[in-house]
């Protein structure tokens, strides 16, 4: 695999988003989902949850099955991490789950979904549903999302497009995510009140 190690900031959150591995650009930015797939994913969240990228990153712990770029596959796309590479990074996820005690896991892409649910499942059977899993000793709710990569058309055509919309609606209704959205509304209202109180009577 190709360094550097890429991970999100130390956010104390009961929500963990798990992807497959960083892409070729993430290392230079020093954060996960920093390039085109990330822009697509954060646009999904902003449209469905009303939470922009900055707020999402500050409220959700972002991790990955593998923490370094695996390199390119023969076909041109990013290579899927192999079993040994996944195993070497597994202890990080195990410790993160023990520390954060998450209630909700957002599993993005087939490898992450497989690792969180503990089984291989076609996207069409899990995207759009609320799953439950025992993950690293923790009972968690799981919302599965397709990978937002431009290399895959799954989320752009039916039935994937409709199932993605259904999954995002389920995510928006989850108590852990609704708490994040409420925090944002409270902060905005507080800022508006502060701005209003700073105005002079003539304004």
Residue 197 has pLDDT above 80, yes or no: no
pLDDT: which is higher, 185 or 10:
10
Q: Which pTM does this prediction carry?
A: 0.89
Q: How confident is the model at residue 87 (pLDDT cuts 50, 70, 90)?
A: very high
Instruction: Identify the three-state secondary structure at position 84.
Output: helix
Question: Cα(133)–Cα(139) distance, rounded to whole angstroms?
Answer: 6
Q: What is residue 54's predicted lDDT score, i.e. its pLDDT? A: 96
Q: Which of these, 116, 107, 5, 16, lies nearest to 61 by C-alpha position?
A: 16
Distance CA 149, CA 187 (A): 32
DSSP H stretches of helix in the chain: 26-29, 36-49, 53-59, 83-100, 110-117, 123-126, 160-173, 175-197
Tens digits of per-residue pLDDT, 132-191?
Answer: 999 999 999 999 999 998 888 999 999 999 999 999 999 999 999 998 876 654 444 444
pLDDT at 180: 83
Name the fold adopted by 15-194: Uracil-DNA Glycosylase, subunit E (3.40.470)
Q: Under the phi-then-psi rule, with left for phi > 0, alpha for psi from -120 to 50, and beta for the rest, what region is 18?
A: beta
Model confidence at 1: pLDDT above 80: yes
Residue 193's pLDDT band (cuts 50, 70, 90): low
Where in the chain are the domains?
A: 15-194
In the block, tokens 């900055």 appear at 54
112 half-sphere exposure, CB direction, 13 A CA radius: 27
Residues 38-60: tens digit of each pLDDT: 999 999 999 999 999 999 999 99
pLDDT in tens, 100-111: 999 999 999 999
Q: In 108-123, which positions are buried (b, 16+ CB within 10 angstroms) versus exposed (e)?
A: bbbbbbbbbbeeebeb
What is d(CA 18, CA 65) in angstroms, rounded to the nearest whole number?
Answer: 7
């Amino acid at each position: 695999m190709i360094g550097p190690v890429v991970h999100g900031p130390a956010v104390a959150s009961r929500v963990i988003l798990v992807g497959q591995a960083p892409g070729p650009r993430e290392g230079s930015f020093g954060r996960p989902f920093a390039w085109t797939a990330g822009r697509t994913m954060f646009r999904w969240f902003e449209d469905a949850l009303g939470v922009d990228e900055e707020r999402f990153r500050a409220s959700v712990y972002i991790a990955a099955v593998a923490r370094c770029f695996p390199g390119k596959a023969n076909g041109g796309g990013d290579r899927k991490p192999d079993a040994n590479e996944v195993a070497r990074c597994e202890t990080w996820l195990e410790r993160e789950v023990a520390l954060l005690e998450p209630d909700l896991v957002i599993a993005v892409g087939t490898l992450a979904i497989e690792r969180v649910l503990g089984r291989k499942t076609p996207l069409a059977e899990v995207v759009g549903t609320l799953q439950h899993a025992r993950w690293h000793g923790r009972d968690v709710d799981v919302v599965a999302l397709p990978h937002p990569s431009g290399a895959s058309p799954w989320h752009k055509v039916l039935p994937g497009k409709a199932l993605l919309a259904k999954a995002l609606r389920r995510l928006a209704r989850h108590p852990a995510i609704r708490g994040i959205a409420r925090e944002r509304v409270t902060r905005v209202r507080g800022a508006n009140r502060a701005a209003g109180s700073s105005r002079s009577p003539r304004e």
